[in-house]
Amino acid sequence: MEIELAKKERLIRAMELGKKIVLHGVVLSQYYKSNVENYLRFCLEYYQKTDILPPSLSLIYSLLEMAFKENCRNSYYTEKGWDPLSSESLTEREAEFETNWDFSDPLKLRNRLKEEGSILRTTIHHSGSGVSLEIANLAPITSEAEEALTEYLSRAKSYHDLSEYYEDYPFDEEGREIGIALAILQFKEIGLDPNLLRFDTAEGEHVFRLEIGFNGEYLSLRTRLENDEDVRPFRSHSQAEKDGETISPWKISVCKICGRTVDDRIFFHTVPPDVVAKAKDLPFTEEVCAWCLSGYLKL
């Protein structure tokens, strides 16, 4: 789904003012991925840097999958009564989670994860010299998992081809965790610096940060900190930012009547009283899509 014209005009004004783009979600649905692609594409088109879109998306999708998986793992561990920060039987628990958790339909998991307080937030900061993206969730991870992730990223940044990945991880015969390594190789092929990918835990959020410089003028966060600039490695978000978007992407909701997941632009959270009066035998007056509502309206 492309960004509509009216929203593009508003986005251009926001880009000119240097406003960030924040995409909020709970699960990694195709809809969420499409929004990330559309807004990142728009941002790169604004700076005429669309050539870096494919490798950027590849890496961002891999990071989003990792963040979403952390949310799911935390939910499964909580259901089992396991401490998500305990390393006890970590290998066995991880194997059980991988075997039993169903990733086939993320939208089916949305209500469960939302009730548990899970988030999946993507923030795009931008300027004429580069963009940076932050992918955040609230899932706690063990110190062992952080060490393994640090080692994986360090190895991936040094690879010259994918065969080196399989030398380091021979048990991953299906290449289930190869996505980040592959994307980093693509980054290096077009001259981008993969060392500007880092992660941290701040204020309970696990955050991946990817910085993409357009030219030699881009100063990475690390460089700015070394220059004693007053910046935060992972900026804290106000409650208002966590509750709502700076630039609101489309939202989706589930119709109580047909059960379809639809765009909020054709969704009635509350049907107006004058419309209810014209609807024959309408079973619900809240959370109804326009398709269903039209079927109950008197001709």
Residue numbers of the domain that contains 266 = 252-295
pLDDT at 161: 87
71 and 195 co-located in one domain? yes
120 shares its domain with 189: yes
Same domain, 106 and 205: yes
User: Both 259 and 189 in a single domain?
Assistant: no
Residue 26 confidence class, pLDDT cut points 50, 70, 90: very high
Express as a percent the part of the chain with pLDDT over 70.
84
Q: Is residue 233 in some structural domain?
A: no
pLDDT single digits (tens) 93-125: 888 998 999 988 999 999 999 999 999 999 998
Structural domain count of the chain: 2
Residue 111: the pLDDT is 93
Q: Does 130 map to a domain?
A: yes
Which pTM does this prediction carry?
0.71
Q: How far apart are CA 260 and CA 263, in angstroms?
A: 10
Mean pLDDT of the chain, nearest integer? 81
Residues of the chain with pLDDT > 90, as a percent, come to: 21
Q: Specify which residues 263 forms β-bridges with.
A: 252
Same domain, 89 and 184: yes
Instruction: Give domain status of residue 121, yes or no.
Output: yes
- Closest by CA to 197, choosing from 69, 63, 68, is 63
Give the separation between CA 75 and CA 84, rounded to whole angstroms. Answer: 9
Return the pLDDT at 229: 46
Residues 70 and 161 in one domain: yes
Residue 3: the pLDDT is 63
Q: Give the Cα separation of 62 and 136 in Å (integer).
A: 13
Residues 149, 260, single domain; the answer is: no
What per-residue confidence (pLDDT) applies to 295?
A: 81
286 in any annotated domain: yes
Asked whether residue 237 is domain-assigned, the answer is no
Residue 206 lies in a domain: yes
pLDDT for 154 beyond 50: yes
269 and 121 housed in the same domain: no
CA dist., res. 207 & res. 121, Å (int) = 9
**Whether the predicted pLDDT of 250 surpasses 60:** no
Residue 235 maps to a domain: no
The answer on 194 and 70 residing in a single domain is yes
Asked, for residue 214, whether it belongs to a domain, the answer is yes
pLDDT higher at 61 or 260: 61
What residue has token string 């628990």?
93
Higher pLDDT, 7 or 159: 159
- Same domain (yes/no): 139, 286: no
139: phi then psi, degrees, rounded to nearest 5: -80, 125
Whether the predicted pLDDT of 172 surpasses 50: yes
